[in-house]
Chains A and B, each alone.
Chain A
Amino acid sequence: MALADQDQSTPVGPAGLSGSRVVQALLVAAIILTVLRPWLPDGLVRAPEWMLLPWRDWIDTVFQYVTFDLGFINVTRFLSGGLEFVLDAVANILYGRARWPRFEAVPWTVVASIAAVLGYALGGWRLALLTGATFVWAAVVGQWKWTMETLSVVFVAAPLGFLLGGLIGIWCWKSKRVEETVKPLLLVMQVLPFFSYLLPAVIFFKVGPTAATVATMAYSLPPMILMTTIGLKKVSPEVVEAGKMSGCTRWQMLRHVYIPSARSEILVGLNQVIMLCLAMVVLTAAIGMPGLGAKLLEAMGSFKLGRAFEIGVTIVLLAVVLDRLSKAWVVNLPEHFERGTPWWRRNIYLVIGVTLFIVFIGLSLMVSGMKPQPIEDAGFGNWFVGILDEVHRKEAMSQGKVYDRAIKDFLSLDAVTSVTGAIRYFVNVYILIPTERALLFVPTLAVIFAVTALAYRLGGKGPAILGFVFFCIVAQFGYWDRAMLTLHSVFMAVLLAVVLGAPLAIFASRSEKRAKRTILLCDTFQTFPSYVYLLPAIMLFGISPVTVILSILIYTMVPIVRYTLEGLRGVPPELTEAADMSGATRWQKLTQVQFPLAMPTIAVGVNQALVFAFFMVIIAEFIGTRDIGQEMRRTMAGTELGWNFVLGFSVVFMALTFDIAINAWAEKRRKLLGLA
C-alpha cells in the first residue's frame, strides 16, 4: 500500500519498543519465514489440520438449535406468510400475478405516466422526462414484466428497510448502550458477502421473492440506521428546547420535532436503502428470484451479449431514476401558495396524475382485445395503438440480436482481438499469475506477520492486534488458499484502480468545470448496481481471471477518483496560493502541499474501494472464479449454513482488518493536520 510511506509518525510500541521497530521485526520475521519456506515443516506453512476448529459444525449446531429446537423457524415461517401476501398483492398490481386483490396488471402506460408525474413533482421537466422515458424503454424493448418483477421486490423491501432501519436508528439514538452494541454489528454487516445474507434468507424464508426481499432488506439496513441516528443527533438544541417549552410529550417531541427536523438525513438514508435494494435484488437471481437480474445472469451465461447489454441498460436507467427521484425529494422543500390559490392549483400533481391514470386505463381497456402485431407489418400508428395496454413479444422493439451481432463483430475485429488478447495475455502471464503464485507460496504465518506490520504502521497497536487476531482466525477457518486468492484479486484490482484513478483525479482537479463534471460522473457511476459492472468486463475479455480483475477495477475506480478529487479540492486555497508564492512548481505543489493534505480523504476513498472490492470479488463468482466466491456458491446449493458463514466471515475478517487500520490512520492523520 502506497499509504504507508506517507506516515512519518512513529507510535510507541509495547515494552518501550518504538513502533517502527515492531514493524521492522514483524517484516523481517515474515521475510525469513518466506525464504525458509522450502525447508519448513508443513505445519508452519499452513495451519495444521489439528488446529482447524470445526466451526462449520458448531455454527450448524447453533443454527439447528435456534431454528428447530427453539422454534425460530415457526416465527420466520409466520413472517414469510405475511410478507408473501404483501409481495403477491404488489405483484398482482404491477404485473398481474394471479393473486389477491385480483386486479389485472396495471398497464405500463399508467405506470410510466404516473412515474413521470412523480418526477415532475419532485424535480421538474427533466426528471419527468428521464423517469417517463425509462419506463417507456423498459416496456418497448419487451422487458416490462421482468422490470416489474424486480421493482415489486424493491417496492416491498425498501419501505421495510426504511421503517426497520429508521426504528433501529431511533433506538440507537435513544440508548447509548444499544448504539454501542449495534455499531460493530453494522460494520460486520457492511462487509459480509451478500451470499451470506442469501442463504439464511432461503432457509428461514421461502425461496424466491420472499427470501430475496428479506436478504435485500437486511443488506440495506446499515446506512438507514446510521443516517437516522446522525440526523436525530444533529437536530439543533434550540429547536428541541422550543419543542419542550411548547409542552410536547416525549412522543410529540419525536413525531413533531425530531423526525421532521432530521428530514434530510432520513431521506438520504431512504435514498441509500432504495439504491442498495435495487443493487441487491438483481443479485438475488442466485436464489431463484425472477426478474431483470435472473435474465441478465441467463444472458451472460449463454454469452448473449446484446440481450445482456439491453438488460444492463434497463437496470442502469432504473438505478439512475430511483436515485434522482429520491435525491430530488431530499432537496424538495415545501413552498407556500398565495392566498386564494384554487384547489386544483394546490394539488396540481394529484390532478394530472389521476387524469393520466383514467386516460390510460381507458385507452388500454379499449385496445386490450387487439391482436399483437410487429411494427414492421402494422406501421407505427397501429403498432403504437396496439401496445397501449401491453407490449407483447411480437411487438417488442428489442434489438438484442442486432446489438449482439454488432458487439461480437466489433470484438472479433482483428484490431480489437489483438489488443484485448495482448492485454489479457500480458496481465495474466506477467502480473496475475506470478503475484498469485507468490502469495500462495508465502507461509501463512508470514502473511499474518506482514498484515500485522501493515496494520501497525497504519493504525498503531489496536488495529495491529485486531488484524493479527482476525487473520489468525481466517487461517484456522481452513480456507486459507482461497482466502489468499480473494485477497490477491482485491489487492491487484485496487492497486490498479489507484494507479489509473489517481492521475485521472489529478487531471480533473486542475479545472473547476472538469472537477464538477467528474464528480457528477462518479455519482452516476456509483448508483449503478455492482452487478452491471461485470458486463463490460465480460464483453472485452470473455471469461477469464482478467475479467474478474477488470470488473472490480471499474467498480473501485469510482471511489478512488471521487475521494482523491475531493481531497485535492478540499485543500484550502490559501495554502496552494502560499505554495505558488513560495515559487513551487506544479509537481512540488502537488507532492509537498496538496497530497499530504488530501491524504486522509484519499485514504477513506481507498478504504471504500477495498470494501467495494471485497464485495465485488464475491459477486464476480457469477462469471467463474476459484476463490471464496466459488466456494460460497457451492454452499448455496447444499444449504450448508455453517460452511457458508465460515467463508463469509473469512471475508469479513480480512476486510475489517484493512477497514479498521485505514480508518485509524486517516483519523490520526486528520487530527495531526488539524482537519478534524
Chain B
Amino acid sequence: MSDAPVISAHNVWKLFGTDPEGYLAKMPQGRSYSDIQADGYIAGVKDVSVEVAKGEMLVIMGLSGSGKSTLVRCFSRLHEITGGTIEVDGQDIMALNEKQLIEMRRSKMGMVFQSFGLLPHRTVLENIAFPLEMRGQDKHDRRERALEVIKLVGLDGREDYFPRELSGGQQQRVGIARSLAIEPDIWFLDEPFSALDPLIRREMQDEFLRLQAMLNKTIVFITHDFDEALRLADRIAIMKDGAVEQCDTPDKIVLNPATPYVAKFTEEIDKARVVHAGTLARPDLAANGDPIPAGTTIHELARQLVDDDREALPVVSKDGVIIGGLDRRQALDILLGAA
C-alpha cells in the first residue's frame, strides 16, 4: 500500500436542491446538516476527504440516509459532485468528457448493486457479457470471458437461465460476475448482500473473501451492517449525515471510537474477536520467549493469554520481524470485556 492512492477524494460535497452549486459557493463555514436542510438543501455528502490505496478494501458503513451510497456514486461519477475533487488513478474524474468517462468505466470499474440491477430480458450469460458487448468485444471473446467468470462465481450450468429463474443469492452472483467481467481495477459494491437472508449472506461473504484473496482488487464496499464491515474491511469509514465520522482500521475503531456515535456501534461488539495482536504491540515494550503472530486476534490467543505468565509477549509480523511487545494484562482486559 505504498504507491499513490487509487481513489482520492478531497472535500467532496454533494448537495441536492434547486441550485446546489450556487448555494455551496455562498454557504458560510460550519453549517451543520440540519442548518443546510433548513436552507432547503439535502447534504448527501458533506465535506468528505478519503483515500483508497491500491489493493485495499475500504468499507463505508452507515445507516440508511447517511450518504454512503451517494458517496460511492460520486466515486464512479454516477452522481456529479457539487464541490471538491475526486481523482481516480491521479485523473480528476470531473474533468472527463462523456467519452472518456465511458472509457474509464469500460476499462477500470465494476459495480455490484443491492437489488442486483440485472437486465430481465437477458440470460445469465448475456447479462455477464453485457459490459463486454457494450465496449464492442466480439461475440466469441465475450462468451469465453463470461464463461470464465461464471465459473469463478460458481454458476456453471446456469448460463442460459433468466434472472427471474434464479434465487436471490444466485442473482447476486450474476451481479458480481458481471462487475468482474471487464477485469476492473476498482470494484464498487453497494450493499451487495443486504437483500439476501442471513445464512446466504454469510456464505456470500466467505465467497467474496475467497474472490478477493484471488483477485486483490481495490474495493469500496458499502454496508449498513457493522459486523459485516468488521469482517471484511481493511479500513472502515463510518458515515453519518453525509459526513465521515471516523475512518480507520477495525481494530482502532473498536478500541478508540472517535465520537459517541461511533461508540454506539462498538459497544455491543466482542472486541477480542476484532482486535489483532499487531495492533496492541508496543515497540517500547520488551518481551522474551516464543513470539505470537501479529495477524491473530485476541480471541484466538485467549487460552495462551490465560496460561502464559509473562508480563509481555513478543509480536512477530508476517515477515518474521519482531514489532514489539503485547501487554498481557491489557489483552486480558479486552478478552474479558473490561476495556
B31 within 8 A of A: no
For residue A354, CB closer than 8 A to chain B, the reply is no
Residue B308 is within 8 A (CB to CB) of chain A in the complex: no
Residue of B nearest to A264 (CB): B120
Residue B333 lies at the interface, judged by CB distance under 8 Å to chain A: no
**Which of A238, A246, A336 counts the most chain B CB atoms within 10 A?**
A246
B114 touches A238 (CB 8 A): yes
CB within 8 A of A236: which of B117, B178, B188? Answer: B117
Contact with B along A228-269 (1 / 0, CB 8 A): 000000001011011111111100100011001101000000
B114-133 vs A, CB cutoff 8 Å, 1 = contact: the mask equals 11111111110000001101
Residues of chain B within 8 A of A339, CB atoms compared: 157, 160
Q: Which residues of A contact B134 (CB under 8 A)?
A: 246-249, 252, 256
Contact assessment for A238 and B120 in the assembled complex, using a CB-CB cutoff below 8 Å: no
Q: Is B35 located at the chain interface by the 8 A CB criterion?
A: no
* Measured CA separation A336–B127 after assembly (Å): 14
B119 in contact with A247 (CB, 8 Å) = no
B119 touching A256, Cβ below 8 Å? yes
Contact B160–A245 (Cβ < 8 Å) = no
In the complex, whether B250 has a CB less than 8 A from a CB of chain A is no
For residues 111 through 168 of chain B, which have their beta carbon under 8 Å from a beta carbon of chain A?
Answer: 111, 113-123, 130-131, 133-135, 157, 160-162, 164-165
A244→B117 contact, CB < 8 A = no
Q: Kindly list chain B residues whose C-beta atoms are within 8 Å of the C-beta of A246.
A: 105-106, 130-131, 134, 178
Closest-by-CB residue of B relative to A334 is B162
Residue of B nearest to A247 (CB): B106
Q: Mark each residue of chain B from 52 to 79: 1 if its CB lies under 8 Å from any CB of chain A, else 0.
A: 0000000000000000000001001010
Given A247-B103, A247-B105; A241-B119 close (CB under 8 Å): no
Q: Which residues of A lie under 8 Å from residue B117 when comparing CB positions?
A: 236, 238-239, 241-242
A581 in the interface, Cβ–Cβ < 8 Å? no
Whether B109 sits at the interface, judged by CB under 8 Å, is yes
Bound state CA distance, A469 and B300, in angstroms?
A: 83
Nearest residue (CB) in A for B122 is A260
Residues of B contacting A245 in the complex (Cβ-Cβ under 8 angstroms): 76, 78, 105, 109-111, 131, 179, 188
Also in contact, A238 and B121, with CB within 8 A (given A245-B110, A335-B165): no
Instruction: Take A246-B134, A252-B134, A335-B162 as given contacts and tell me if A239 and B76 are in contact as well, using a CB distance cutoff of 8 Å.
Output: no
A241-B111 contact in complex given A246-B131, A246-B178, A256-B134, C-beta closer than 8 Å: yes
Q: How many residues of A contact B (CB 8 A)?
A: 24
CA A334 to CA B109, docked complex, whole Å: 30
Q: Is the CB of B160 within 8 A of A236?
A: no
Q: Pick the contact of B111 from A236, A242, A252, A260 — CB < 8 Å?
A: A242
Contact A242 B109 (CB under 8 A): no
In the complex the two chains form, is A241's CB within 8 Å of B162's CB? no
* Alpha-carbon separation in the docked complex, A242 to B111 (Å): 7
Contact between B120 and A241, CB atoms less than 8 A apart: no
A249 lies within 8 A of B113 (CB): no
In the complex, the answer to whether B160 meets A336 with C-beta atoms within 8 Å is yes
Interface residue B102 (Cβ < 8 Å from any Cβ of A): yes
- Whether A337 is near chain B, meaning CB under 8 Å from some CB there, is yes
The answer on a CB contact under 8 Å between B118 and A333 is no
Q: Which residues of B contact A252 (CB under 8 A)?
A: 134
B78 touches A241 (CB 8 A): yes
Closest to B175 in A: A242
How distant is B163 from chain A, measured CB to nearest CB, in Å? 11
Contact A263–B121 (Cβ < 8 Å): yes
Return A657 CB to nearest CB of chain B, in Å: 35
Q: Which residues of A contact B114 (CB under 8 A)?
A: 238
Q: Hey, which chain A residues are within 8 Å of B178, CB to CB?
A: 242, 246
A560→B68 CA distance, assembly (Å):
49
Specify which chain A residues have a CB less than 8 angstroms from the CB of B115 in the assembled complex: 236, 238
In the complex, the chain B residue whose C-beta lies closest to that of A249 is: B102
Q: Chain A: which residue is nearest B110 at the CB level?
A: A245
A667–B116 alpha-carbon span in the complex (Å): 35
**B109, B111, B164 pick with most chain A CB within 10 angstroms:** B111
Q: B87: shortest Cβ distance to chain A, in Å?
A: 19
Closest B residue to A253 by CB, please name it: B134
Chain B count of residues within 8 A CB distance of the other chain: 37
On chain B, the residues within 8 Å of A239 by CB distance are 117-119
Which residues of B are found within 8 Å of A256, using beta-carbon distances? 119, 130, 133-134
Closest chain B residue to A341, Cβ basis: B160
In the complex, what distance in Å separates the CA atom of A333 from the CA atom of B116? Answer: 19
Chain B residues within 8 Å of A248, by CB: 102, 134
C-alpha gap A263/B121 in the complex (Å): 9
Q: Cα distance A239–B179 when bound, in Å?
A: 13
- Least CB distance, A357 to chain B, in whole angstroms: 29
| Known contacts A238-B116, A239-B117, A335-B165; is-contact A247 B102 (Cβ 8 Å) | yes
Instruction: Find chain A residues with CB under 8 A from B102 CB.
Output: 247-249
From B110, B119, B161, contact of A336 by CB (8 A): B161
State in angstroms the CA–CA spacing of A256 and B113 once bound together. 18
Chain A residue nearest in CB terms to B130: A246
Contacts of B119 in A (CB 8 A): 239, 242-243, 256-257, 260-261
Q: Is the CB of B160 within 8 A of A244?
A: no
Q: How far is the CA of A335 from the CA of B179 in the complex (A)?
A: 24
CA distance A247 to B131 in the complex (A): 6
How distant is the Cα of A243 from the Cα of B120 in the complex, in angstroms?
Answer: 12
Closest to B114 in A: A238
Chain B: which residue is nearest A238 at the CB level?
B117
Residues of A within 8 A of B76 (CB): 245
Q: Report chain B residues within 8 Å CB of A335.
A: 162, 165
0/1 per residue, A302-334, Cβ < 8 Å to B?
000000000000000000000000000000011
> A236 CA to B188 CA in the complex, in Å?
19
* Chain A positions 540-597 with a Cβ under 8 Å from a chain B Cβ: none
- B338 nearest CB across to chain A (Å): 45
Cα separation A593 to B316 with both chains bound (whole Å): 75
Which chain B residues border A333 with CB–CB below 8 Å? 120, 162, 164
Which residues of A lie under 8 Å from residue B188 when comparing CB positions? 245
- Distance (whole angstroms) from the CB of B167 to the closest CB of chain A: 15
Query: B113 near A241 (CB under 8 angstroms)?
Result: yes
Q: Nearest Cβ distance between residue B114 and chain A, in whole angstroms?
A: 7
Which residues of B are found within 8 Å of A242, using beta-carbon distances? 111, 113, 117-119, 175, 178
A257 and B134 alpha carbons, distance in the complex (Å): 11
| Interchain CA distance A243-B122 in the complex, whole Å | 13
Name the distance in Å between A510's Cβ and chain B's nearest Cβ.
Answer: 36
Residues of A335-373 contacting chain B, CB below 8 A:
335-337, 339
Q: How far is the CA of A553 from the CA of B182 in the complex (A)?
A: 63
How does the 8 Å CB contact mask read for A623-656 relative to B, with 1 for contact and 0 for none? 0000000000000000000000000000000000
B110 surroundings in chain A (CB, below 8 A): 245
CA distance A241 to B123 in the complex (A): 19
Decide if B135 touches A260 in the complex (CB within 8 Å): no
Q: How far is the CB of A231 from chain B (nearest CB, A)?
A: 13
Q: Which residues of A contact B162 (CB under 8 A)?
A: 333-336
Distance in Å: Cβ of B137 to nearest Cβ of chain A:
11
Note all chain A residues with C-beta closer than 8 A to B131: 245-247
Shortest Cβ gap from B182 to chain A (Å): 8
Nearest chain-B residue to A252 (Cβ)? B134
In the bound assembly, the distance between CA atoms of A171 and B133 in angstroms comes to 26
Q: List 6 A-B contacts (CB under 8 A).
A: A238-B116, A242-B113, A242-B118, A334-B121, A335-B165, A336-B123
Given A245-B110, A260-B119, output 11 extra A-B contacts at Cβ < 8 Å. Answer: A243-B119, A244-B78, A245-B105, A245-B109, A246-B106, A246-B130, A247-B103, A256-B119, A260-B120, A261-B119, A333-B162
Closest 7 CB pairs of A and B: A247-B106, A242-B117, A238-B117, A246-B131, A336-B160, A245-B111, A260-B121
Residues in A lying within 8 Å of B, measured CB to CB:
236, 238-239, 241-249, 252, 256-257, 260-261, 263, 333-337, 339
Mark B residues whose CB is within 8 Å of A: 73, 76, 78, 102-103, 105-106, 109-111, 113-123, 130-131, 133-135, 157, 160-162, 164-165, 175, 178-179, 182, 188
